[in-house]
Amino acid sequence: MRRPLLITLLMLLFLAGCFAPTSEPNKAKEPSPGTVQAVSAQTAPQAKPVPQIKPVPWVETVPQAKPQAEAERKGSARMPAAHADATAAAMKTVSERCLVVPPQFAPASPPLPPWNRESYNAVQENGFVNVSRNPLSTFSINVDTASYANVRRLVNSGILPPVGAVRIEEMINAFSYDYPDPEGRDPLGLSAEIGPSPFHSGYQLARIGIKAKEIAREQLPPSNLVMLIDVSGSMRDANKLPLLKQALPLLIRQIGERDRVAVVVYAGDDRVVLQPTPGNRQRDIMAAIESLQAGGSTHASGGIRTAYRLARQNFLPSGNNRVILASDGDFNVGVTSLDQLQRLIEHERQSGVHLTVLGFGMGNYRDDTMEILANKGNGNYAYIDNLLEAEKVLVKELSGTLFTLANDVKIQVEFNPARVGAYRLIGYENRALPNEDFRDDRKDAGEIGVGHRVTALYELIPAGHSAVPQIDPLKYQTLPPTPAEDSQELLTVKVRYKPQSSEASRQMSLPVRETAGYRTSADFRFAAAVAGYGMLLTNSQHLGTFTWAKCLDLARSGRGFDAEGQRAELYRLVAASTLLARQQEGGGEPGTEPHPVPVLR
């Protein structure tokens, strides 16, 4: 008698546990964090949202309940048949209602890529041009260095950069070269060097160099600086506003009582945090910068107008008037389209106020926006990825960053068709100018600062070479006979510029002759290595036989005097990129293929 009573009590306890009060049926639509859920059997593609997870429904039949029911029947074998059957039936019903089907999970899909809204301008690589039909090549200079620092940030984080992030001329110009100083009344010095191309056997490489005059800091004119700082919510990350607040004091310590500094911030709206203040009031300026906090949307266009208005109000006729914009470029309120921003900044630059753009951050970084602001604002553009880069831009290169020496600097190269069959300008794709604009002083071009160096590389195909691009004969005109057949000149470089505070252009030129034998300088080889690195990163169509291994060798041979280790840093970046490219290729020895697989776009 005791055994049936014991079994009955156990059954009642079991029933009490299974029929305990539960949440209302309507709340099943919003399962709690502990609710068992099943994943859809069809794995979503990476580009689509993850499917909604649904709770497992109650079921009527559960195969797993059978062994348990059978065990219960075995335990009641000595009971009367009728009582045992009734007990088993009750237990079976309870078990079926209490148990659910174990969740079935789909195979794990590849992890989704990290959130990334960075944007870059498209780049259409320059190709070879037939000299007999197009002997002139014209472009605006570019002293920006943002691309190199951004590429470094991406590679150091284990990512090969997208093609649009690689502007080869900015990577080359991020390094210093030993160019001759200017002579005479010209503030610019011009030089050139010819050597063998590392990309194609039998081709040549021409390096053109410009060096701006050095001026001692105490001899520089006073500055009227307006710092325009993005304090929107997207600037909270450690590599944005916090890094900016560490970087700006490096600049503040370089200015004096002749200078004036103002601070304008923008988020949902803009406001003046610090009215124009003498540079020797360091504590007031530092306190204004330290007080900045991030939050809100990004109304950049309002901040731009306010900053330029403040700069005009305190304009120094013979001084350095400049707005320093620091942001991640993620503008989402007010004027946001690139076309509208370009028109806005072109209008503001007419006041004679120059622009320096400092880029910060990652994930939502808008390089295309920052680049166009600097290009159209008579300014320069740097990317700050760490405090050492901030010191380089704002301390070591302060004079070049803030003080413009020549405006609207254009380069035009004329090639001798008797010596050169075709040419290709490496980089400067977004700085190309019509040949007619070279002598048109109304056309805008790049600015060059005190002590700046500018480098341009051309790859040359000798005249008569089978690789020279061929063109059909003209129907309505005939080509003039090839001139200068006896000349040893390969090309002539012409530079046109406006000295600061002048609207009249000056022009200088340099004929470049072919030399017997090639004994290239370390600077020449290093600049070629940087160009080759950029071409590898963008999977250039003109790599020829150039590989990652050759790039490493060329960078090593061109290291030369490297007091601060910047060239050694490039070597390490090439080495790291070689490993990343090898991983993308799926194995194999790096540097054995002449063309790498396309990198991340």
Is residue 597 one of the residues assigned to a domain?
no
Can you give the residue range of the structural domain that contains 338? 222-402
**Is the pLDDT score of 288 beyond 60?**
yes
For every residue of 263-289, which 3-state class applies, written as one string?
EEEECCCEEEEEEEEECCCHHHHHHHH
Q: Parallel, antiparallel, or unpaired for β 489-499 and 37-38?
A: unpaired
Query: In this predicted structure, what is the pLDDT of residue 151?
Result: 97
194 lies in the same domain as 287: no
> What does the pLDDT look like over 146-186, one tens digit per residue?
999 999 999 999 999 999 999 999 999 999 999 999 988 89
Shared-domain flag, residues 101 and 170: no
Amino acid letter for position 31: P
Residues 435 and 372 in one domain: no
Among 361, 382, 402, residue at a domain's last position: 402
Compare 520 and 98 and report the one with higher pLDDT.
Answer: 520
pLDDT digits (tens, 9 = 90+) for 321-376: 999 999 998 887 667 677 888 888 989 988 999 999 999 999 899 999 999 999 99
Query: Which of 4-13, 94-103, 188-197, 417-426 is least confident?
Result: 94-103
> Does 264 or 70 have the greater pLDDT score?
264
Pairing of strands 223-230, 260-266: parallel
* CATH number where 398 lies: 3.40.50.410
Structure confidence at residue 397 (pLDDT) = 93
Mean pLDDT within 441-453: 93
Distance between CA atoms of 233 and 297, rounded to whole angstroms? 6
Same domain (yes/no): 287, 155: no
Length of the chain: 601
Report the pLDDT value the prediction gives residue 296, as an integer from 0 to 100: 82
Q: What is the pLDDT of residue 501?
A: 78
Q: Are residues 264 and 395 in the same domain?
A: yes
pLDDT-derived band of residue 65, with 50, 70 and 90 as boundaries?
Answer: very low
Residues 511, 416: Cα–Cα separation, whole Å = 10
Q: Are residues 64 and 95 in the same domain?
A: yes
Number of domains the chain contains: 3
To the nearest whole number, what is the mean pLDDT of the chain?
82
Task: With respect to residue 28, please indicate whether it lies within any of the assigned structural domains.
Answer: no
**Domain-embedded: residue 40:** no
What span, in angstroms and rounded, lies between the C-alpha atoms of 169 and 207? 12
Tell me: do 146 and 283 sit in the same domain: no
530 lies in the same domain as 435: yes
Say whether both 456 and 502 belong to one domain: yes
Question: DSSP state, 496?
Answer: E
- Comparing 64-68, 295-299, 341-345, 596-600, the range with the smallest average pLDDT is 596-600
State yes or no: pLDDT of 453 exceeds 50.
yes
Residue 393 covered by a domain: yes
Higher pLDDT, 25 or 346: 346
Quick count: other Cβ atoms within 10 Å of Cβ 237? 16
Q: Write out the two tokens for 429.
A: 């794709």
DSSP codes of every residue in 210-223: EEEPP--GGGSPPE
- Which residue is listed with tokens 């949307």? 297
pTM of the model: 0.78
Q: Which amino acid is at 276?
A: P
Torsion sign over Cα 92, 95, 101, 102:
negative
Q: How many CB atoms lie within 10 A of CB 78?
A: 8
Model confidence pLDDT, tens digit, residues 507-558? 999 999 987 777 899 999 999 999 999 999 999 999 999 999 999 999 999 9
Q: In 3D, which of 558, 554, 549 has the Cα closest to residue 578?
A: 549
d(CA 543, CA 528): 12
Q: Are residues 576 and 511 in the same domain?
A: yes
- The reply to whether 284 and 350 lie within a common domain is yes
pLDDT tens digits, 185-244 = 899 999 999 999 999 999 999 999 999 999 998 899 999 999 999 999 989 999 999 999
pLDDT score of 71: 41
Question: In the listed set 352, 376, 402, which residue is the last one of a domain according to the structure?
Answer: 402
pLDDT the model gives residue 138: 98
- Identify how many contiguous H helices and E strands the chain contains and give both numbers: 15, 18
pLDDT in tens, 7-16: 666 666 655 5
Q: What pLDDT does 502 receive?
A: 83
Q: What are phi and psi of 498, to 5 degrees?
A: -110, 120
Q: Is residue 247 part of a domain?
A: yes
CA 543, 546, 552, 553 dihedral sign is negative
Q: What proportion of the chain, given as a percentage, has pLDDT over 70? A: 77
pLDDT for residue 417 is more than 80:
yes
pLDDT score recorded for residue 541: 96
Burial 156-171 (b: 16+ CB within 10 A, else e): eeeebbbbbbbbbbbb
Give the 3-state secondary structure of residue 306: helix
pLDDT beyond 50 at 52: no
The two tokens of residue 152 are 């470094």
Place of tokens 């600077």: 523
User: Which pLDDT score, from 0 to 100, does residue 11 have?
Assistant: 66
What angle, 0 to 180 degrees and rounded to 10, lies between the N-to-C axes of helices 367-376 and 338-349?
30
Residue 114 has pLDDT above 90, yes or no: no
> Higher-confidence residue: 380 or 98?
380
480 pLDDT band, cuts 50/70/90, is low
Residue whose structure tokens are 């200015």:
255
Is the CB of residue 410 less than 8 Å from the CB of residue 496? yes
Instruction: Give the pLDDT confidence of 388-402 residue by residue, as tens digits.
Output: 999 999 999 999 999
What's the token pair of residue 233?
A: 């919510």
* Token code pair at residue 555: 């960078």
First to last CA, the chain: 80
Interatomic CA distance for residues 455 and 104, integer angstroms: 62
When pLDDT is cut at 50, 70 and 90, the band that residue 600 belongs to is very low
Asked whether residue 379 is assigned to any structural domain, the reply reads yes
pLDDT for the residue numbered 8: 64
- Asked if the structure places residue 119 within a domain, the reply is no
69 Cβ contact list (under 8 Å, min separation 6) = 88, 91, 92, 95
| 44, part of any domain | no
Do 446 and 369 lie in one domain? The reply is no
pLDDT at 485: 67
* 287: Cα separation from own chain's centroid: 31
Residue-level pLDDT at 3: 59
User: Is residue 262 over pLDDT 50?
Assistant: yes
